[in-house]
């Protein structure tokens, strides 16, 4: 299939304001994962004078882990300059060393999967291929005056559309950090010529608010499937919504403008004879989902191969969460699932209490505390239903259940 030549930016991405933003987003995310909470971590933007110990309370072990994460993201082990990071106490110091390393090697960049299964992995990409992708999107989108974003720069989605895309557009757009903007206020903030980069859970809040958009506002959604009712409501409010399908492992693969339609395969990808694989630049790439093909260059995702689900744009593994709950002495068995659309957008748990366990209300409170101590926020169930046996189908397979107020305890939100 035809390919697109990468564009040639006037300056490397890391010589601009994007690098401090990426490092700050990565550091905040890593600390939150280590501490199982965002509590006490300042919101963006971070100044260069930010001191990791004084302002973030990061001890030497946490700083070492942060340095390891940044080194992996920017492939700094190839230059050896990553060894200087732990001794530098400020964000500005890290930016300086990162720039020096990228000046020697910037051909590759790596992104960690957002999985919450306990085994995240690094996914390395050639910068030239990512630049090729945003060149394609610049042709689809046309001129953009501002980019409003609610996603972090250290994830591949945020990197593509808030770091690289501005370089590929005909005129450099203004970047507006909208992460602190309530969904109900987003449409009022948007102006003609804006592009909004967000994720399905946030878009659901925007759609529910029902406020019309100005003419000529475009939006992008990715990281998880956008429910058709949400997409249709956003379009009814005047938003030109592009749904992009991809992953940390692959970057973008396909896109669509209309809810319910198949995704169009991007021009530099090709099908292979082997299911679960695509071809790019002569190399086979494994997919995370099963694809249902509608012709040679159109498809519909048919579910994760690894059974992960998404909560707030984060991949979580319900079986791993259930295993953590079963380590609690008051739990004999646990089953965890994503809530039904009418129940919410978080995980729910069905618990078979141990014979000598606490009463249901007390056990629900204990499990909420257990989840806060052992699971990341996205992987924590926010609803607990109790019964003598796990719900199963007639064939004996684990089944879904409806949250029933008479047999269910919902702990305080974490």
Instruction: Please state the pTM of the whole predicted model.
Output: 0.81
Q: What gap in Å lies between CA 85 and CA 231, rounded to an integer?
A: 43
279 and 343 part of one domain: no
| Same domain, yes or no: 169 and 283 | yes
The count of structural domains within the chain is: 3
Domain contains 363:
yes
Min mean pLDDT across 54-63, 254-263, 296-305 is at: 296-305
Does any domain span residue 311? no
User: Is 195 found in the same domain as 101?
Assistant: no
* Domain termination residue (choose one: 260, 277, 306): 306
Whether residues 154 and 289 fall in one domain? yes
Q: Is the pLDDT of residue 236 over 70?
A: yes
Residue 179 sits in a domain of what CATH number? 3.40.50.12780
Residues 50 and 195 in one domain: no
> Do 156 and 238 fall within a single domain?
yes
Among candidate residues 255, 279, 306, the one where a domain is terminated: 306
pLDDT tens for residues 40-56?
Answer: 899 889 999 999 999 99
In three-state form (DSSP H/G/I as H, E/B as E, the rest C), the secondary structure along 326-340 is HCCCCEEEEEEEECC
Buried b (16+ CB within 10 A) or exposed e, 147-180: bbbbbbbbbbbbbbbbbbbbbbbeeebebebbee
Pairing of strands 289-293, 283-286: unpaired
Tell me the Cα Rg of the chain.
22
Encode pLDDT of 261-295 as tens digits: 999 999 999 998 877 899 999 899 988 888 989 99
Task: Assess whether the previous peptide bond of 45 is cis (omega < 30° from 0).
Answer: yes
Q: Please check whether residues 262 and 327 belong to one and the same domain.
A: no
**What average pLDDT does the segment 127-135 reach?**
96
**Residue numbers of the domain that contains 387:** 317-409
**Is residue 111 included in any domain, yes or no?**
no
Are residue 33 and residue 157 in the same domain, yes or no?
A: no
Residue 312 lies in a domain: no
* Count of all residues that appear for the chain in the document: 414
CA distances from 375 to 42, 205, 219, 304, 378 (A): 21, 25, 32, 21, 8
DSSP H or E stretch at residue 204: helix 200-209
- Whether the Cβ atoms of residue 111 and residue 248 lie closer than 8 Å to each other: yes
């Amino acid at each position: 299939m035809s390919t697109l030549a990468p564009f040639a930016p006037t300056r490397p991405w890391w010589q601009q304001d994007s690098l401090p933003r990426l490092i700050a987003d990565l550091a905040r995310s890593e600390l939150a994962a280590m501490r199982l909470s965002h509590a006490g971590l300042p919101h963006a933007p971070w100044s260069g004078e930010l001191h990791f110990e004084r302002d973030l309370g990061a001890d030497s072990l946490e700083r070492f882990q942060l340095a390891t994460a940044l080194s992996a993201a920017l492939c700094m082990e190839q230059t050896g300059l990553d060894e200087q990071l732990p001794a530098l106490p400020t964000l500005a110091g890290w930016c300086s060393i990162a720039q020096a390393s990228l000046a020697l090697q910037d051909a590759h960049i790596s992104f960690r999967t957002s999985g919450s299964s306990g085994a995240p992995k690094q996914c390395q990409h050639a910068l030239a291929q990512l630049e090729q992708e945003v060149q394609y999107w610049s042709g689809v989108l046309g001129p953009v005056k501002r980019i409003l974003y609610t996603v972090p720069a250290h994830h591949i989605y945020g990197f593509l559309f808030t770091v690289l895309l501005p370089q590929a557009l005909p005129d450099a757009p203004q970047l507006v950090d909208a992460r602190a903007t309530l969904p109900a206020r987003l449409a009022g903030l948007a102006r003609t010529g804006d592009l909004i980069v967000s994720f399905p859970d946030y878009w659901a809040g925007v759609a529910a608010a029902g406020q019309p958009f100005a003419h000529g506002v475009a939006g992008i959604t990715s990281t998880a499937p956008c429910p058709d009712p949400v997409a249709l409501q956003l379009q009814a409010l005047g938003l030109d919504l592009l749904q992009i399908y991809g992953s940390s492992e692959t970057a973008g693969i396909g896109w669509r403008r209309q809810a319910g339609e198949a995704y169009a395969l991007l021009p530099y990808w090709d099908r292979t004879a082997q299911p679960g694989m695509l071809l790019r630049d002569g190399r086979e790439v494994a997919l995370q989902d099963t694809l249902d093909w509608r012709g040679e260059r159109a498809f519909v995702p048919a579910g994760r191969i690894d059974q992960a689900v998404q909560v707030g744009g984060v991949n979580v593994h319900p079986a791993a969460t259930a295993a953590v709950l079963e380590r609690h002495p008051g739990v004999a068995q646990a089953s965890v699932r994503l809530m039904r659309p009418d129940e919410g957008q978080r995980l729910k748990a069905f618990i078979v209490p141990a014979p000598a366990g606490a009463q249901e209300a007390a056990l629900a409170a204990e499990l909420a505390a257990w989840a806060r101590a052992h699971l990341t926020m996205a992987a924590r169930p926010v609803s607990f239903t109790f019964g003598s046996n796990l719900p199963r189908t007639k064939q004996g397979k684990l089944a879904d259940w409806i949250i029933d107020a008479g047999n269910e305890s919902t702990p305080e939100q974490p």
